[in-house]
DNA sequence: TAGATTGTTAATCGATTAACAATC
DNA sequence: TAGATTGTTAATCGATTAACAATC
């Protein structure tokens, strides 16, 4: 039997399916809730029940990143939470900008849920001079001219777009040009972006329409 | 050759995968955009390019519901749009309630995008007496006591929950009890609901966290 | 007619689940 | 020890894609 140089059981990050990565924040959220309730241990079954998915899926998903549990015992809530934070790079605070200071933009900029979970809104932008300066809640609204300076100053990589659908593609290009690499688009339209830039979408109407089919 | 009574090529609605139904509103949105641009015809390839998916998927998805195109020509924009509206039961206006009159609730209640796409916010509710009566924008805020009366009066089936995470499960049960069958939950927590009730989720932080993994 | 594009089939690809040895 | 639960394998299930005959 020839000796085989054992290969590292390497964690090839490119190999983890997007759909698995997409569920990790959900696991993290459930664990944070448990931590808040002072729960010390949990199991894949308990997490599965809380999230309405299968325990096998949770174990399989986690197995892409390492071994975090103990047979017979399950997972330490704080331990697994911190592992997930680490995997998702959420063990730091990320600066965030909002582009578009209308109704949704202002609401989004003042939503306290971002700061509570690691994202800090550092600026709100609008191309309408009438909106610049006056507050979107506690935030001052900046002109688009200031985009580059602020993104560089705070090393911002995340942007939320709360502009009209017609403006979204142009605005996306503007923020990408200054270094934004993750866009959360609230405008009801699909964006075309270069590889290396990530886009996710929020369109509440799509959700309502989906459910209406079943009524 | 024995004669076979031809079976209806029946459109078994239970047979359409949820994931397919979930894409229909996206197709509808793209078609509405084309209609607005006065485009008369389109193809599965053109739709696919606009949405960043494959043309085969679009044709396959549509084939669950009928034949809407013409070889060599493609699809009539208005025709396909109306077919999709019909399939999704969006050829009527649906009343909608918002529960929770805080920052997000007020923003959501005043978002004009709902009315533009077939959903009309008929009432906003809050359990805090201090918020009842004064406006959430153009809406009057009702007490939870009025929930049943208003849901019955307008025959409401859709609710958006914009309450704190801790309150979401209880509020969900309240709205289900008065007849709501579709819930769009903005609270960052998973809901347990009986069969026959549909829930979709909006948690912007989850989207930001997903993208952060790749940065 | 020639070119374009559908609707559909079959193949491929990928994700989920069931099951269980290992072990705390 | 007995019971519980992990991590992993293999099987199943389902979704996507490629390809093309039909036909406008």
Q: Contacts of residue B194 in chain A, CB cutoff 8 Å? A: none
Q: Which residue has the tokens 């995470």?
A: B165
| Global confidence as pTM | 0.92
Phi-psi region of A123 (alpha: psi -120 to 50; beta: other; left: phi over 0): beta
Q: Do A208 and B104 touch (CB under 8 A)?
A: no
Nucleotide nearest to A67 (CA to C1'): D7
Classified by CATH at the fold level, domain B94-207 comes out as: Rossmann fold (3.40.50)
pLDDT tens by residue, B65-119 = 999 999 999 999 999 999 999 999 999 999 999 999 998 999 999 999 999 999 9
Question: Which residues, other chains included, contact A33 with Cβ-Cβ below 8 Å and sequence gap of 6+?
Answer: A50, B165, B189
Q: Give the whole-angstrom CA distance, residue B95 versus residue B180.
A: 11
Percent of chain B with pLDDT over 70: 93
DSSP 8-state secondary structure symbol assigned to residue B102: S
Nearby residues of B211 by Cβ (< 8 Å), 6 or more positions away? A158, A182, A184, A198, A200
Q: In chain A, what are the domain boundaries?
A: 13-87, 94-207
B11-36 average pLDDT score: 88
The encoded tokens of residue A61 equal 């998903």
**Which two structure tokens, joined as six digits, stand for A150?**
């602020």
CB-CB under 8 Å, B208 with A182: yes
Q: Compute the distance between CA of residue B177 and CA of residue B180 in angstroms, rounded to an integer.
A: 7
Could you count the other beta carbons within 10 Å of the beta carbon of residue B87?
20
Which of B50, B90, B213 lies closest to A212 in CB terms?
B90
> Which of B22, B107, B190 lies nearest to residue A50, judging by beta carbons?
B190
- Residue with tokens 């990565």, as numbered in its chain: A21
Q: Contacts of strand C, CB cut-off 7 Å?
A: A 17-20, 53-54, 56-57, 59-60, 70-73; B 43-45, 55-56, 59-60, 62-63, 67-75
Q: Taking the C-alpha atoms of B145, B147, B153 and B159 in order, what is their torsion angle to the nearest 10 degrees?
A: 170
- Work out whether the CA dihedral A184, A177, A16, A89 comes out positive or negative: negative
pLDDT at A4 over 60: no
CA triplet A191, A123, A127: central angle to 5 degrees?
60
> Across the interface, do B104 and A89 touch by the CB < 8 Å criterion?
no
Chain D footprint bases within 7 A of protein beta carbons? 2-9, 14-19, 22-24
CA distance B5 to B136: 60
Q: Which residue of B has its CA nearest to A48?
A: B190
pLDDT, tens digit, 9 for 90 and up, residues A11-48: 344 589 999 999 999 999 999 999 999 999 999 999 99
Please state, in angstroms and as integers, the Cα–Cα distance from residue A64 to each residue in A49, A51, A52, following that order: 21, 19, 21
Provide the residue count of chain A: 215
Which residue from B minimizes the CA distance to A165? B33
- B153 pLDDT higher than 90: yes
A177 CA: distance to closest CA in chain B (Å): 16
Strand, coil or helix: B200: strand
Per-residue pLDDT tens over the stretch B1-14: 444 443 333 334 45
- Find out whether B183 and B197 touch, Cβ atoms under 8 Å: yes
CATH number of A13-87: 1.10.10.10
Each residue of A132-191: pLDDT tens digit?
987 667 899 999 999 999 999 999 999 999 999 999 999 999 999 999 999 999 999 999
Residue of B nearest to A33 (CA): B189
**Distance measured from the CA of protein residue B59 to the C1' of nucleotide C3, in angstroms:** 20
């Amino acid at each position: 039997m020839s000796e085989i140089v054992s290969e590292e059981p390497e964690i090839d990050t490119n190999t983890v399916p997007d759909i698995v990565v997409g569920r990790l924040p959900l696991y993290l959220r459930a664990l944070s809730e448990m931590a808040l309730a002072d729960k010390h241990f949990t199991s894949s079954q308990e997490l599965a029940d809380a999230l309405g998915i299968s325990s096998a899926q949770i174990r399989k998903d986690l197995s892409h990143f390492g071994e975090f549990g103990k047979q017979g015992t399950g997972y330490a809530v704080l331990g697994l939470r911190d592992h997930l934070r680490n995997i998702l790079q959420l063990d730091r605070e990320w600066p965030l900008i909002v582009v578009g200071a209308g109704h949704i933009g202002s609401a989004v900029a003042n939503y306290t849920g971002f700061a509570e979970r690691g994202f800090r809104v550092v600026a709100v932008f609008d191309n309408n001079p009438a909106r610049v300066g006056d507050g979107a809640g506690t935030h001052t609204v900046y002109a688009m001219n200031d985009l580059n300076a602020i993104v560089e100053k705070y090393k911002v990589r995340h942007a939320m777009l709360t502009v009209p659908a017609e403006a979204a593609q142009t605005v996306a290009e503007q923020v990408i040009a200054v270094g934004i690499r993750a866009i959360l688009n609230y405008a009801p339209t699909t964006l075309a972006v270069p590889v290396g830039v990530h886009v996710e979408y929020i369109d509440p109407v799509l959700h309502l329409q989906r459910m209406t089919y079943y009524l």
